[in-house]
Amino acid sequence: MSNPESQNVTDYPNSNTIFMVWKLNDNPKLKDTFQQLCALVLNLNNSVFNRFPDSRASCVIGIGYHAWNILDLPTPLPKELTSFEEIRGEKHTAVSTPGDLHFHLRADDKSIIFDMAIEISKLLSPVAESILEIHGFKYWDARSILGFVDGTENPHNEDRDFFAKIGDEDERYKGGSYLFTQKYLHNMKEWGSLSTEEQEKVIGRSKENDIEMSDDVKPSNSHIALANIEGENGEELKIVRDNMPFGSPSTGEFGTYFISYASTFSTTKKMLTNMFIGNPPGNYDRILDFSTAVTGTLFFVPTRDMLDEFSG
């Protein structure tokens, strides 16, 4: 299987998204249900592609470390699939929270993913508990609720495959991807108290035109300065983000669901370490003074070929 078919990890963001995280129960029907689930995910993707070819609709399933073990999935495990360990800085912490299965549903038409979520939930409800569901949406020209464009540094074209999918370094899981997610809540009152110029220094870009500040102007603790990372030899390290804003005006809860696909989790972990501990330590990402991570979970996204095997 030299070129396994990946799930839709490199699709570009679109207008509507549903994120779901489920925790599996100790149920004798769990493994049978998981087989059915893998078949359902494949069916949903094939069906929406045939029925709504222009909708850019897809369903991506990720599997956590705990679930991989209790479901008796193949061993050895993907090389970097573990339970995420919190990254604690002097002031802010990238928390670790549970999660066995993650679903990333996206489409231009929300009706499609709404029906997808219903079918997945009907199947899983007897054997699992829903612990997170977020409905994300495109905000203006791909901006977060904070008002700045999100995802400008995302790779494009063939680079998306290179940075998002495992290559020959882990032949057994080639074409798979490491999925890391965090739910961030924004303190909009504090953020709104900053001037536009102060906000731009936090991010490292202009608010209106999304232009990155020059290195001699950009603060060393700006989000751009710390989230853009390099390898030991100066090589560029990237992840494929598909962040989406969410919010409830009546309750005042506003946030960003951070979601990244990467060929190696160590790349994402290095970025998180820069942000939360700082580079150098103590020089943490200033955006964390206004955005709090309340979840943090690592999953592995198997290929479609593996889902087919899992389905029995």
Task: Enumerate the active-site residues.
Answer: 150
Do residues 143 and 137 touch, judged by C-beta distance below 8 A? no
Give dist(CA 263, CA 176) in Å, integer: 8
Give dist(CA 118, CA 18) in Å, integer: 11
Residue 144 has phi, psi (to 5 degrees) of -80, 170
Give dist(CA 268, CA 175) in Å, integer: 18
Give dist(CA 31, CA 282) in Å, integer: 46
Give dist(CA 240, CA 10) in Å, integer: 7
What is the token pair recorded at 120?
């997945």
CA proximity to 89, closest of 241, 292, 258, 237: 292
